[in-house]
Amino acid sequence: MLENNNNIIKRNYPVTGMSCASCALGVEKKLKQQRGVKSAAVNLADNSVMLEFETAETDAAFLKSALQEVGYNMLIEEEERAKEIQEEQENAHYKKLKRDTIFAWIFSIPIMIISMFFMHLSYLNFVMLALALPILLIFGRDFFINGYKSVTKGSANMDTLVALSTSIAFLFSTFNTFFPQFWIERGIEPMVYFEAATMIIAFVLLGKVLEEKAKGSTSSSIKSLMGLQPKLATIIVDRESQTVSISAIKKGDLIKVKPGEKIPVDGIIKEGNSYVDESMITGEPIAVLKKEGQKVLAGTINQKGTFNFEAVKVGGDTLLAQIIKTVKEAQGSKAPVQRIADKIASIFVPVVIGISILTLALWLIIGGADQFAKALLSAVSVLVIACPCALCLATPTALMVGIGRGAREHVLIKDATALEQLKRVNAVVLDKTGTLTEGKPVVSDWIWLEENLSQEKKEEYLNIIFSIENRSEHPLADAIVSYIKENKKYAEATIEGFTTITGIGATAKHNNNNYFVGSSKQLKESGEKALKALQNRQGKSIVLFSKNNNPLLIIGIRDKIKENSKEVVKRLHKMGIEVHMLTGDNVENAATVSEQLGIKHYKAGALPQEKEDYITHLQSSGKIVAMVGDGINDSQALSKANVSIAMGKGTDIAMDVAMITLISSNLALLPKAFDLSRRTVKLIHQNLFWAFIYNLIGIPIAAGVLYPFTGILLDPMIAAAAMAFSSVSVVLNSLRLSK
């Protein structure tokens, strides 16, 4: 995306090196400080920044250098190339993270075994030291680098806490390994805590790998949308056809579209007509007849006819391009919620450091130099007991178990944000076609209007209907042909003079009789029986079969409501959730479906932008909104909703944009998703409680608050055991959800 107006450039640049919300804030802050920069908005979802700057005062190269000064990099190459570089770097980062995690565990497990079963063999301390060094210096070095960056920027995050606690534990253990006599001479047993330092890094790395794997890919969803637009188009110049790139198409060009081709840009038909599949925009499975003077849209698919149309909107002005832009902006506006542990760490780290320093100072002030050993032990105990292993595990373990449970129940949950928000949702917006209904037109009624019609005649007429509809281009004809093939005995009839009446139906002759299959609008003078048969149409599409203008058969076609849709709506209402329905279908069909399902709020004829506007309106009225959809036409609304839910048999773009996917397209999974959300969020809160209760109780004891009264001084080993026990509590608590 590049705009250049009056020496002001607005462009999206990929940024590398960001790992958390504080990184994004740091990038924004640094860029906004530079001369000539009018605005800078970081999208952490796809690791990019939307920059607007004046070319007279600065340029992209200067801004790139400014970011490199604080440890980040901005890719200023041509957009497509920049995206390729970014993808290569992100893939390399994930592979490195995965490799570091595997090796961290390989080295950590022997250390844990030695510390548990051979702690009395002091010479094994050197073995643990040798095994711990690669973990801290190689596999876990990013924690120390990022922690240092965070401190220099005046903030603290989980990396800061990991770096601080592991380095203290490691340095203290290393000192005790080489200089055990220092403690022995003072009557204290020298303990080592290599397992604490290494296991923290191994656990946190595992959490990061799981988070990276679960993270939604914005770029893939945008690519899916872009893939809807063809790369080439056929334009008419001086009555000659020329194949050109769509980037070369200008407003006013005459474009030819053949059967099966995608329409390259938005325009108006000038010559010809055809049925066009607009399901990617409207969500409706039935193709729409397009005639001269009517609008066609980029990305929609021409079916059987050929037509020429004039380009009206090209490039970034097409409806498809606007959908792409809206999806990207909506995803960017919902930057991932800062990790709960990071929020806590920003306060927790300086508090723990302060308590540790205060502990050391108070011991020395009260007890003097003779109490240095106890002062140092107490200060170290504070830092060791504050190791964030349980804090780091609190969210990832709950998510692992919750996501696993969801997967077993066919509910795919992508991130913690979805879980957190879904618990608060009080309004659900459901797409009609493909979500509440099957999304495919099927024959629902087959009503013969002549009561005394013989079976032989019925079979004869059936063969004629099949032969006519098998030649017809109308989308409802396919439903009739499929129904006959599946449910009736039929044979091809010999017909003559087959003619399509655009928008009405088709006619043909058989044994000198005229037959018609098509619109029920032809019934105006067709008698009471036919009109009575239409009284209970309930939103169905009606097809008439007549012989010599005498109606013989009424065929009802509808998009069948899914079996469990009504029950799901009832369950949502019982859960206190308001249900809304959006559809691109007509008002009559929408009203029928909503009435049958007990849905009070609905909107018919809704295009993608109108669906998004509907979500925005609900949010502005104070609703926390979940959107459930299955098509490209739902992608804008899905992106705008607080929680986006896709049906598993829907389009790739809907599933990429969505935070949650109902894998089997069974709508009955929706209430289960709500229940799973509530239970998982509750579990995360419980885990955070258990992670902290040990610190809240243990830190004062580690500082020596009980020593003046009881003579009890918490040994760092006991502090480490308490920290380990808190981790075990968190894991065991998380496993309860899997049952």
Q: Which residues are catalytic?
A: 431
Structure tokens at 281: 């925009």
Bridging pattern class, strands 625-629 and 427-431: parallel
Distances (CA, A) of 235 to 246, 278, 534, 694: 10, 22, 46, 72
Which of 457, 433, 450 lies closest to 630, judged by CA? 433
CA angle at 159 for the pair 153 and 163, rounded to the nearest 5°? 105
- Residue 263 CA to residue 266 CA, distance in Å, equals 8
SS3 percent helix, strand, coil of the chain, rounded to 5, is 55, 20, 25
C-alpha torsion angle, residues 388, 391, 393, 395 (rounded to 10): -150
Amino acid occupying residue 486: E
The residue type found at 86 is: Q
Interatomic CA distance for residues 63 and 11, integer angstroms: 13
Task: Tell me the residue type at 147.
Answer: G
- Residues 216 and 733: their CA atoms lie apart, in Å, by 27
Q: Are 650 and 368 in contact, with CB atoms under 8 Å apart?
A: no
Report which of 281, 322, 218, 226 is spatially closest to residue 634, judged by C-alpha positions.
281
From first CA to last CA, the distance across the chain in angstroms is 48
Q: Are strands 541-547 and 307-313 parallel, antiparallel or unpaired?
A: unpaired
Within 10 angstroms of residue 383's Cβ, the number of other Cβ atoms is: 23
Contact 401, 737 (CB under 8 A): yes
Question: What is the rounded distance in angstroms from the CA atom of residue 656 to the CA atom of residue 652?
Answer: 6
Per DSSP, the residues of 639-662 read HHSSEEEEETTS-HHHHHH-SEEE
